[in-house]
Amino acid sequence: MYDNLKSASPVTIGGLFYFEPGVKAGKVESNNNEFKKCYNTNYGTVWNIPKDYVLEDDGSVYNGNAGRAGMIYCDQCIVMQTSAKYDCNMAG
């Protein structure tokens, strides 16, 4: 579990996982993780996935997160989630 609630950083582009534009396309796997109280992002509180990437997320829990563009920002990528649980999150 990662909790960046206490972070003193200003608003960021992507949350916990951000891949620079132009990074070679690939696949990211996330299994049974808990993402809790992640804030202060413009594009994707937890994931900011660039073009041509694949995110496979199985059984992760997203709890109490808040970002301007939701938990996952996907720019021409593929997101596949199985049994993911979202609870008390906000986007706006």
Record the pTM. 0.79
Give the 3-state secondary structure of residue 73.
strand
Sheet holding 17-18, edge to edge: 17-18, 47-49, 72-74
Q: How far apart are CA 38 and CA 28, in angstroms?
A: 19
Angle, alpha carbons 1-39-8 (nearest 5°): 95
Query: In a structure prediction context, what are the per-residue pLDDT tens digits for the chain, which is 92 residues long?
Result: 444 444 445 556 667 888 877 778 889 999 999 999 988 788 888 998 888 899 999 999 999 998 888 899 888 999 999 999 999 998 87
- Dmax over Cα atoms in the chain, in whole Å? 34
How deeply is 80 buried, as exposed, middle or buried, from its count of CB atoms within 10 A (0-12, 13-18, 19+)?
exposed
